[in-house]
Structure 1
Amino acid sequence: MSLAKKVVLITGGSSGIGKAIGIHLTKKGYTVYGTTRNVSKYPDFTHFPLLELDVTKAGTIKKAVQELLSKEDGIDVLVNNAGVGITGPVEEIPEQEISSHFETNYFGAIKVMKGVLPQMRKQQSGLIINVTSIAGYMGLPFRGVYSASKAALEVTTEAMRMETKAFGIKITNLAPGDFATNIAGGRYHAPVIKGSDYQKNYQLSLDLMDAHVDEGGDPKAVGIMVEKIILTPNPRIHYKVGAFMQKFSVFLKRILPDKTYEKLLLNHYKL
């Protein structure tokens, strides 16, 4: 199969980074299918076909994979992109919201991988790109739950790469920084509680987070990086895409003493 004819499945493909990835790959000649929880919400979506899939429901994943395979010979690439944001002091986020967040960002990603791996094993080939986040490399204040879900997926990917290597399957992580998308609008915000000990610092951090997303780069850059990974015969374990300082922050985390790095974060978030 020629590179341009590869079949790519992108979860969360109807908006944001997933949509940008799909548009870029479609323009490059790839056969792209996106997924969304409710296809009927996108009657005018013409960029590429959308399949109905909810990453928290295994039955919808199985149905979407079967629908794709009824039209194509296989699945060459899974871009595991569907995810949600969450903010708040860990102490004040309802436990149900924490569980719900992990159901989508972590368990959901694993469910989708389980949905495509039998086909990839059958093909003796396949590439899975798990879209994580630069936030997954560090515990960020008021984003601790989000950082944790992305960190968990990064580490699970490391294990699964080794488990599936014998089947000709490659799995990698792609961690974006801040991009101009609608993630802030779909994010779960723990309410800023009047009179809470966290009120002032949480509100400051919330304003800063939203400003970073609004000022973020063009998500097309993520699509370009995804194509680069697809064209790489032996992908690395970790990739990052975003502003220089965001990527550099991961390097600093690796080389600086823990408390020095923590001080940098405290200064950045004005805490």
Structure 2
Amino acid sequence: MKKVVLITGASSGIGRAIGEYLHSQGHTVYGTSRNPASYEDPPFPLVSLDVRDQSSIQECISRILTFNNRIDVLINNAGVGITGPVEEIASDQIENNFRTNLFGPIEVIKAVLPTMRNQKSGLIINITSIAGYMGLPYRSVYSASKGALELITESLRMELKPFGITACNVAPGDFATNIAAGRYHSPVISGSPYEKLYKENLDTMDSHVSSGGDPMDMAKMIGKIINTKNPKIHYKVGSTMQKFSIVLKRILPDKMYEKMLMKHYKL
């Protein structure tokens, strides 16, 4: 059955790959971007949306409903990366990250729920991160915002079941996208006690993204979920080691897992 799908943050990277794939499968796809005019000839319509702006969210949803009178699937993909030692990340950047990665998706969900409830059907897919399953050095804020979205979805899923609406998370690992270029990097401060280790870890993080997986793997997983009658709560898409790291966190003693992470990040 073909669906009307809304994908936030669909102008590039994982969001665009998802949009292109679902469009090729015959679904009616609407993507969003803060600046749709900056992108030439997308294969599906791009609607203006800033998830940090309540009026922008309402205008976007209203526009799509004008064309289709329904929204079957919401894919909350819009998000931003952030790195830095907790001590040195500016408070306004921490707030912006949570507004984009957590509060924004919540507000978009709130905006589509009345329509889905009237339809007595709907699917909400939140794109989180494998990093959201663990606190990672120099990625604390990103891990925290994505981890919070994971838990919000667990609660939301139970609240929405009586209305025929399903919610789930898809947590990607490292994929070859432009997220590193758009990520906020707390500056490497000369003379900082974190200078050497943070700089080394920043270079490592960027190299992991550059050599990451194909975003189309994420797109195909989303397509599979949409065609699943009863989706699971959590999905992980990434390398075997990235997914296994979540299993290890579950079974290893805390200090042993911490020691493993510190060795990996050369701390």
For this structure pair, what is the TM-score category when the shorter chain's length is used for normalisation?
A: over 0.9
Equivalent of residue 154 in structure 1, options 143, 150, 157: 150
Q: Shift in Å at residue 267 of structure 1?
A: 1.0
Q: Does 1:57 align with 2:50?
A: no
Displacement over 2 Å in runs of 4+: none
Alpha-carbon distance in structure 2 between the residues aligned to 1:87 and 1:45 = 33
Q: Which amino acid aligns with 2:135?
A: G
Q: Shift in Å at residue 216 of structure 1?
A: 0.2
Q: Which amino acid aligns with 1:105?
A: N
Give 1:52-91 correspondences, 5 Å limit: 52-91=48-87
Alpha-carbon distance in structure 2 between the residues aligned to 1:142 and 1:68 = 39
Question: Normalising by the residue count of structure 1, what TM-score does the alignment of the two structures yield?
Answer: 0.97
Give the equivalent residue in structure 2 for 1:9: 6
Q: Which amino acid aligns with 1:248?
A: F
Q: Which amino acid aligns with 2:56?
A: T
Alpha-carbon distance in structure 2 between the residues aligned to 1:70 and 1:264 = 52
Alpha-carbon distance in structure 2 between the residues aligned to 1:46 and 1:265 = 40
Q: Does 1:232 align with 2:228?
A: yes
Alpha-carbon distance in structure 1 between the residues aligned to 2:53 and 2:120 = 26
Q: Shift in Å at residue 45 of structure 1?
A: 2.7
Residue identity over aligned pairs, in percent, reads 63
Alpha-carbon distance in structure 1 between the residues aligned to 2:164 and 2:119 = 9
Q: Does 1:96 align with 2:92?
A: yes
Q: Does 1:21 align with 2:28?
A: no
Q: Shift in Å at residue 231 of structure 1?
A: 1.0
Alpha-carbon distance in structure 2 between the residues aligned to 1:7 and 1:95 = 38
Give the equivalent residue in structure 2 for 1:267: 263
Q: Which amino acid aligns with 1:161?
A: R
Q: Does 1:121 align with 2:84?
A: no
Give 1:134-213 correspondences, 5 Å limit: 134-213=130-209
**Which stretch has the larger CA shift, 231-240 or 134-143?**
231-240
Q: Shift in Å at residue 39 of structure 1?
A: 1.4
Partner secondary structure for residue 87 of structure 2? coil
Q: Which amino acid aligns with 1:13?
A: A
Alpha-carbon distance in structure 2 between the residues aligned to 1:46 and 1:236 = 31
Equivalent of residue 215 in structure 2, options 219, 229, 232: 219
Partner secondary structure for residue 102 of structure 1? helix
Q: Which amino acid aligns with 2:102?
A: Y
Partner secondary structure for residue 35 of structure 1? strand
Q: Which amino acid aligns with 2:117?
A: R
Alpha-carbon distance in structure 2 between the residues aligned to 1:45 and 1:171 = 31
Which runs of 5 or more structure 2 residues have no equivalent in the other structure? none
Which runs of 5 or more structure 1 residues have no equivalent in the other structure? none
Equivalent of residue 33 in structure 2, options 11, 33, 36: 36
Q: Which amino acid aligns with 1:263?
A: K
Q: Shift in Å at residue 40 of structure 1?
A: 1.6
Alpha-carbon distance in structure 1 between the residues aligned to 2:181 and 2:41 = 20
Q: Which amino acid aligns with 1:16?
A: G
Question: Normalising by the residue count of structure 2, what TM-score does the alignment of the two structures yield?
Answer: 0.99
Alpha-carbon distance in structure 1 between the residues aligned to 2:97 and 2:32 = 19
Q: Which amino acid aligns with 1:254?
A: R
Q: Which amino acid aligns with 1:67?
A: R
